[in-house]
Structure 1
Amino acid sequence: MNGEPTICSGRGPWIAKGKRLFLNLSGGDILGLTSNKEFVTAFLQNLESADLYNCPFFSYESQSTRIPPNKLNEIKGQRKALLFKDLTTLFNLLANHLLKRGYVLLVDEQFEMTNIPLIRNINNQVQIFPHNSFSTIKKHIEAQSDSNFAILVQTVYPLSSELLPVNELLEISQSDHVLLIIYESWADGLLGEGGEGLKSLISTIPQNSIIVGSYTHILPLSFSYIASPETFIDPLESDLKDQPFNPEATEFQVGITLWFINFLNSQKSPLRKLSDNANYLRYELATKGFRVLGDFAPLIPVLVGEREKALEFYNGLLENKILANLLNYPLVPLGKSRILLIPSVLHSKEDLDFALNKLEKVAKTLGII
């Protein structure tokens, strides 16, 4: 490192805690948006302008105002899309819609949205299955052969960077009684050259699938989205008419959507830089002997093992100016504690090399590598 590091903000590559500086590999503004004060000022000014409101949020009376959702479903490889104010509202309405139509919900135990009240209150129509246990899914389907099932999974599980076993899922999805609800968590929803997410991971998206996602951790006052064939979206829209409130995204959020989608598909897109930084850090860690989980997401879990050793590693990194994430039980299984590293587009190669040197130094001291 030459000279003092630049502090972009509390979410930038270097952050200040008290009188100390830390290289931030704990997440935050991974696309470098909110850390740029000039961008934030211009962005908020544009959101207040009349020009950006030329694409208002979808209303039942004016079905021509679908520019942001149309752009979104093109990117995600689906036929139709809707935007919602927030992810919890989306999943509650989606689960209610499915239960109302007699679906049995089969939910992966590591599915991030299992904390919403409707899913947490388990009944005979909602079953939690062990993580990636497709044998359990098959048993449920065989035991209730006359029922319709909605299987709730997500593309990449952030705590492990483990990709959903797509081939097994595609095999199960061949049944006319199975509907796939695939959640793109904020990091894997950015995969691909233009933020295609799941579409960039598999060649053919099953017809009976629904893609749900959110940019909540990336954009201020962000939205959530659902993209699927018309055969599913149309009945869902009909249900929304009966809601006592409007759950769909505001004009402000749709303005963000339109700008963000165009940004990701422009020459200024930060996705290549994010991918390059993540791939470089992942490759160099593996070369140094670390047990790195996953192989492509911008979230990089480093397996340590026992809880005490992981805590020592975490504290050692802090002493060496590296801020990371410590993941212990019950977030991860017993004996599989890990450090989660999240690079951003704000990190230079010098930043990443600084981190790699410190990670190697502390790990060797503790006998991790």
Structure 2
Amino acid sequence: MTSSKLNGFLNENLEELRGLGLYNDIDPVQGANGPIITINDKKLINLSSNNYLGLATDDRLKEVAIDAVQSHGVGAGAVRTINGTLDLHLQLEDKIAKFKGTEAAISYQSGFNCNMAAISAVMDKNDAILSDELNHASIIDGCRLSRAKIIRFNHSDMEDLRAKAKEAVESGQYNKVMVITDGVFSMDGDVARLPEIVKIAEEFDLITYVDDAHGSGVLGKGAGTVKHFGLQDKVDMQMGTLSKAIGVIGGYVAGKQNLIDWLKVRSRPFLFSTAVSPADAAASAKAIDILTESTDLQNRMWENSDYLKQGLKSLGYDIGKSETPITPCIIGDEKLTQQFSKRLYEEGVYAKSIVFPTVPKGTGRVRNMPTAAHTKEMLDDAIKIYEKVGKELGLI
């Protein structure tokens, strides 16, 4: 017999989410997640993937992944601190550190794990964290796990950050104070004001932490937001993923050698969860090699991004203040946003609706992610569909 309390809770809340237009249906992709995908036997132009550079389907990464399976097997076999650290993991971490311009790096099983691991390993109940109000959910959860006092500052508002940093430091209540921000904000595509954040951090001796999940591979000739601003010597902790522009899976934190040494003995996902597979480590390292050797993929991604942005803007869509390939079409109402996404799907474009709690209520949008793998013809077809559906729903 199952719990009636649990069933009642689940059924009531699921029904409420569906009624509010906040329930998210998951659409399994048949085959690879490339610029064209197949869902329910229907071919669609894919504008919802984080595969910015098309590396998730790159033959060069496939080849080294297959070789790694043959030489090292399909799994690491243990947590990193017992005997799950393979030579492939060390090679990957060395490449990450060189790529990010830091002394050292540590890799994790996912970007989400990084924020859960690193924040709570450095901060505790005697500390405070200044966190941008639009930071990613993994940052929020990492901050909560640390038990530090969380002080939110208005999004990219440097006056508010400075005032709250001054108050926190001068109160004398906290041993350490950290400022933490996304490098690129995943829902709006705007870039953090890192030079100003670093200046405030230097004034008040704050620990600086940048989540560069959407900046790595995109900005700074691929090396990320911190390197884009030339601040790799002034940011204490750089976090990033290996699952977006890099095209594989996993995450990392880069910084000083003593920081990485500390994370290896105190960050719980590193200590208690099996390492990423040999194939993932080898493929990620190959992706970094590709980005180090050439900017061709980034150049193509930016060309496609500018092209799609101009097309959607000229139709009259509100694309916000994006400075990166992340291109939202902000609709507002949640139910209308989901209807819009559904009609795009029916016409041949996969652009997933993003609604509360991922974004604030009343700011529903579909988020477009043009990649290096899209052709101009694909983008032209997508823009035509946006025009047809937008006019039909009275959005443009």
How far apart are the structure 2 equivalents of 1:311 and 1:33?
A: 29
Map residues 329-368 of structure 1 onto 2, 5 A cutoff.
329-368=356-395
Q: Given the superposition, is the C-alpha separation of residues 311 and 125 from structure 1 closer, same or farther in structure 2, using an over 3 Å criterion? A: closer
Q: Given the superposition, is the C-alpha separation of residues 250 and 194 from structure 1 closer, same or farther in structure 2, using an over 3 Å criterion? A: farther
Give the alignment's TM-score, normalised by structure 1.
0.80
The answer (yes or no) to whether the contact 2:156–2:193 under 8 Å persists in 1 is yes
Letter in 2 for 1:152: I
- Equivalent residue for 2:44, pick from 8, 19, 22: 22
Please tell me the root mean square deviation across aligned C-alpha atoms, in Å: 3.8
Give the alignment's TM-score, normalised by structure 2.
0.75
Which residue is equivalent to 2:260?
233
Q: Is 2:196 aligned against 1:168?
A: yes
Q: Secondary structure at the match of 1:12?
A: coil
Which residue is equivalent to 2:121?
97
Q: Is 2:240 aligned against 1:213?
A: yes
Q: Is 2:53 aligned against 1:31?
A: yes
How far apart are the structure 2 equivalents of 1:166 and 1:18?
A: 43
Which residue is equivalent to 1:131?
155
Letter in 2 for 1:172: I
Q: Is 2:101 aligned against 1:77?
A: yes
Map residues 310-325 of structure 1 onto 2, 5 A cutoff.
310-325=337-352
Which residue is equivalent to 1:44?
65
The answer (yes or no) to whether the contact 2:121–2:146 under 8 Å persists in 1 is no
Letter in 1 for 2:163: K
After superposition, what is the alpha-carbon deviation per residue over 1:286-316, rounded to whole angstroms, capped at 9, x for unaligned? 2332222234422211122333443343233
Q: Which has the higher helix share?
A: 2
Shift of 1:202: 1.2
Q: Given the superposition, is the C-alpha separation of residues 129 and 319 from structure 1 closer, same or farther in structure 2, using an over 3 Å criterion? A: same
Which residue is equivalent to 1:3?
none
Q: May I ask how many residue pairs the two structures share in their alignment?
A: 358
Shift of 1:356: 0.8
How far apart are the structure 2 equivalents of 1:361 and 1:220?
A: 32
Letter in 1 for 2:46: N
Shift of 1:173: 1.4
The answer (yes or no) to whether the contact 1:193–1:271 under 8 Å persists in 2 is no
Letter in 1 for 2:35: P
How far apart are the structure 2 equivalents of 1:112 and 1:140?
A: 21
Letter in 2 for 1:44: A
Shift of 1:213: 0.7
How far apart are the structure 1 equivalents of 2:110 and 2:41?
A: 37
Q: Given the superposition, is the C-alpha separation of residues 319 and 274 from structure 1 closer, same or farther in structure 2, using an over 3 Å criterion? A: same
Q: Secondary structure at the match of 1:107?
A: strand
The answer (yes or no) to whether the contact 2:123–2:146 under 8 Å persists in 1 is no
Which residue is equivalent to 1:271?
298
For structure 1, the 5+ residue unaligned runs are: 1-6
Q: Secondary structure at the match of 1:161?
A: coil
Shift of 1:10: 4.6
How far apart are the structure 1 equivalents of 2:192 and 2:63?
A: 39
After superposition, what is the alpha-carbon deviation per residue over 1:218-253, rounded to whole angstroms, capped at 9, x for unaligned? 567622111113353344445469x85477666544
| More moved, 163-172 vs 213-222 | 213-222
